[in-house]
Structure 1
Amino acid sequence: MLFVALACFFLWTAPLANAASRVKDIADFEGIRDNILVGYGLVVGLNGTGDSLRNSPFTEQSLTSMLERLGVNTSGETLKTENVAAVIVTATLPPFQRQGTRVDVVVSSLGDATNLMGGTLVVTPLMAADGEVYAVAQGTLTVAGFAASGAAESITRGVPTTARIVNGAIVERELGFDLASMTSLRISLRNPDLTTSRRIAAAINGYIGQPVAEPSDPATVVLNLQGSNRANMIELLADIEQLPVRPDQTARVVIDEQSGIIVIGSEVRVDTVAIAQGNLTVRITETPQVSQPTPFSEGGETVVVPRTNVQVDDDGGKKLTILKEGVRLQDLVDGLNALGIGPRDMISILQAIKAAGALQAEIELM
């Protein structure tokens, strides 16, 4: 039933498969990208659900270091607090984010804390891959999950050791990238394809009226404004990202064997092939019966009489199906459904068709 539903969905959307998409939906522009930030910090104010300092020595070291910076000397003292947890703070810095703006952060426990609910993240610098600090995070945590326990039972819903702080980080450093003054820029395809890259370049050149775009490889289209009548890169990219382009794709069949999901691309073609499917099933059922003597009989005894029922199913009702050369996706699905088989057997049939050289598509196993 799951495969039939998926097949019907893709058949219904088949006319849309060849529809044009905007350039902004299938490609990225150089320099317009997110940046990943990460930091290490402490969450305080937990209700006894923080790290046990004996099992998490890094938490104790961080707590001691923080107190010393605040003028509290704890050298030689044994800390036993359970209201503190060491955490990893992650955030995504959007492109061209200006100094003073805010971004969301995700806080994840690093030690053996059991719950971050009610905690407060202390000032935590967030660094990028270059080691520079680009944002500082602090705030009260919002935990989606929860945990509760009693003497004989406990319950946990969600992940209480992961939290989020909305607008929890302030951007302190801007990324230097002057997009407006650029005269050359690369457009990167999200799904590299030679035909799609050529179509994007042709659409851009047709819109501008000059050969300013050229595909350099299946994943890149180079845009060069030198000598053209367009001087502002921002205005040009705003127009380019709205251009309609029909993306091409490799014929592919995606199979998830664990869940039995099959997704067949619209470009899949099958050569002439005959398919038959059948399994031999032998079912043996034991139904023992009890035989008792008649009342007041002499010398009788109660015995168990075996009863065995053997059934053999050779799938004799299944028929041989022929798929003609160059059939479409609908013909392939109709032919497989005509055999009355389930998704598991369909996976084996598709692999067998591929092994026979009749399936003109790639099979990708998830």
Structure 2
Amino acid sequence: MIRYMLSLALLCCTGLAHAQTLGQLVNVEGVRENQLTGYGIVVGLAGTGDGSQAKYTSQSIKNMLNQFGVRMPDNAQLRARNTAAVMISASFPPGYRRGQTIDITVSSLGDAKSLRGGTLLMAPLRAADGETYALAQGNVVVPGVAASGRSGSSVTINTATAGRIPNGATVEREIESDFASTPTVRLNLKRPNFQTATNIVHAINRTFGVAIASTEDATSVDIAVPANAGSRSAFVARLHRIAIEPAGDAPKVVFNSRTGTVVISQGVTVKPAVVSHGALKVSIDESFNVSQPEALGNGQTAVTPQSSIDISQRGGNAFQWKNGASLQAIVDTINSIGATPDDLMAILQGLSEAGALNAELEVI
């Protein structure tokens, strides 16, 4: 497993950086998605909705019925197992106009067992400014299944308390942007880097034959829009097609502490170092002995615990790396001792603490 994982990391990271289009490296400021959220009620469930503990579901049903002229007593207790309170989320794409539709995600807020077969009633979707930008409604598509019996046994596949409604929200209000009115276009780098930002400036100025691009940091590039650029969209489209040679990132070793995955990027080297790695194993077994008295004796039966402790240590493996050992040499050496991902993490962390690893360690 460790050999396959490291070989895959080596295969993906070998070679120098290749030219990419500018559109792959940057985002245009002012042209981005906005998040929308809302609260609603899903109806039509086959007894898998919220229970009596979800008081807000009952209150929401009363409020909805009041809007249609149905008055419910204030002390009325509703047990609407066919309904469920849900939260709605969606991403508002940049530039969308009134009447266009977007996908939405519906997630149970209470103790509903499943949203399968339910229909979301009309609900407003708001942005961070509190304004309503879309209205959501439609049939919920749930990829998961949940079933249970009276004995308490149950079967669950995926998640049945969340689903999607394709084209489930209609845009009712546009999100304003100053993209078309500002005299400059700002490009924000997805991975800030001083050299990459400098390369972008040179490539843009070389393409247009005039110094219209500049940068003062590693994060963004400002571009003055030429008077003869035509439409702003066509100008940005031309920018996105420019070939850029991105700067190589600093060598890095990434540990995933949850899955035990270790990824080593190209360019990682080590200084002269000797590593000895072994494992200490301690096993403790507990058992009980029963002591019986002799027949017709005055003794009593007693239970006595017994502990067996065994300590074993796997033979340590010592190996040495020469100065400037490459990634391939590191992988081959670690694979030769049959190291596990945990062993690899311990070895690389030790090398980093000793100052022998020419790379940045990152734990995710």
TM range (shorter): 0.7 to 0.9
Partner of 1:130 in structure 2?
129
Q: 1:18 to 1:105 in 2, by over 3 A?
A: same
Q: 1:72 to 1:208 in 2, by over 3 A?
A: same
Partner of 1:165 in structure 2?
165
C-alpha separation in 1, matches of 2:344 and 2:13 = 20
1:62-211 aligned at under 5 Å gives the runs 62-76=60-74, 77-152=76-151, 153-177=153-177, 179-211=179-211
C-alpha separation in 2, matches of 1:79 and 1:205 = 68
C-alpha separation in 2, matches of 1:150 and 1:280 = 48
Deviation at 1:25, TM superposition (A): 1.6
Q: 1:150 to 1:321 in 2, by over 3 A?
A: same
CA displacement, residues 337-364 of structure 1 (integer Å, 9 cap, x when unaligned): 3344222211111011111111121111
Q: Is the 8 A contact 1:36 1:91 kept in 2?
A: yes
Deviation at 1:314, TM superposition (A): 5.1
- The 3-state SS of whatever aligns with 1:72 is coil
Q: 1:151 to 1:66 in 2, by over 3 A?
A: closer
Deviation at 1:330, TM superposition (A): 1.8
Q: Is the 8 A contact 1:182 1:233 kept in 2?
A: no
Partner of 2:221 in structure 1?
221
Question: Can you give the 5+ residue segments of structure 1 that lack an aligned partner in the other structure?
Answer: 286-307
Name the amino acid aligned to 2:55.
P
Q: Is the 8 A contact 2:10 2:327 kept in 1?
A: yes
Partner of 1:50 in structure 2?
49
Name the amino acid aligned to 1:182.
T
Q: 1:13 to 1:80 in 2, by over 3 A?
A: closer
Deviation at 1:320, TM superposition (A): 2.4
Deviates more, 1:55-64 or 1:331-340: 331-340
Partner of 2:356 in structure 1?
358
Name the amino acid aligned to 1:57.
K
Q: 1:97 to 1:282 in 2, by over 3 A?
A: closer
Q: Is the 8 A contact 1:323 1:335 kept in 2?
A: no
C-alpha separation in 1, matches of 2:135 and 2:60 = 17
RMSD: 2.4
Q: 1:122 to 1:312 in 2, by over 3 A?
A: closer
Deviates more, 1:138-147 or 1:253-262: 253-262
C-alpha separation in 2, matches of 1:21 and 1:339 = 39
C-alpha separation in 2, matches of 1:178 and 1:283 = 68
Q: 1:242 to 1:10 in 2, by over 3 A?
A: farther
CA displacement, residues 144-176 of structure 1 (integer Å, 9 cap, x when unaligned): 111112233211111111121111111111122
C-alpha separation in 1, matches of 2:145 and 2:127 = 31
C-alpha separation in 2, matches of 1:311 and 1:55 = 54
C-alpha separation in 2, matches of 1:85 and 1:256 = 37
TM-score norm. by structure 1 comes to 0.85
Partner of 2:292 in structure 1?
none
Q: 1:115 to 1:132 in 2, by over 3 A?
A: same
Q: 1:133 to 1:283 in 2, by over 3 A?
A: closer
CA displacement, residues 79-137 of structure 1 (integer Å, 9 cap, x when unaligned): 33221111111111111111111111111111121111111111101011111111100
Name the amino acid aligned to 1:206.
R
Partner of 1:335 in structure 2?
333
Q: 1:284 to 1:126 in 2, by over 3 A?
A: closer
Q: Is the 8 A contact 2:146 2:160 kept in 1?
A: yes
